[in-house]
Amino acid sequence: MAGEPGELLQGTLEMMVLKTLSLEPMHGWGVAQRIQQMSNDVFLVTQGSLYPALIRMKRRGWLTTSWRVTENSRRARYYELTVAGRKQLGLEQASWLRASAAVNWVMNARLVPDGGRA
């Protein structure tokens, strides 16, 4: 594992879950694995934060659930994005890009003798 797993903001976790599920419907463990892999093991998603987040998103109508059988024939609950969920992913992605760009600007700022900004 490379470094300490990062603390996740709640909104960020939800966005990543939405992103993961936008690729294909998946069960909870799968979502956690996929995020861990995709973040190069930076984010370790625990049950304690994943399942409440899934339930909350379902309550908001972004996800639907169904019980299916996995490839190694176990019964698991699969989560799938709804149209509203897809729309939400778009919104969150856009605001994330804006916010992270802004954070980057701030973090890259340097002092200029005239008091102006680069």
Chain contacts with another protein (rule: CB under 8 A) = 27-29, 32-33, 46-49, 51-53, 55-56, 58-61, 67, 74-77, 84
Q: Which is nearer to another protein, 8 or 53 (CB)?
A: 53
Min dist CB 17 to another protein, Å, is 13
Min dist CB 76 to another protein, Å, is 5
Cα distance between residue 71 and residue 26, in whole Å: 12
Structure tokens at 44: 């370790």
Min dist CB 80 to another protein, Å, is 15
Structure tokens at 27: 């069960």
Structure tokens at 63: 């996800």
Q: Which is nearer to another protein, 5 or 22 (CB)?
A: 5
Q: Which is nearer to another protein, 16 or 31 (CB)?
A: 31
| Exposure letters 51-76 (e unless 16+ CB within 10 A, then b) | eebbeebeeeebbeeeeeeeeeeeee
Q: Which amino acid is at 15?
A: M
Cα distance between residue 32 and residue 23, in whole Å: 14
Q: Which is nearer to another protein, 37 or 100 (CB)?
A: 37
Min dist CB 98 to another protein, Å, is 21
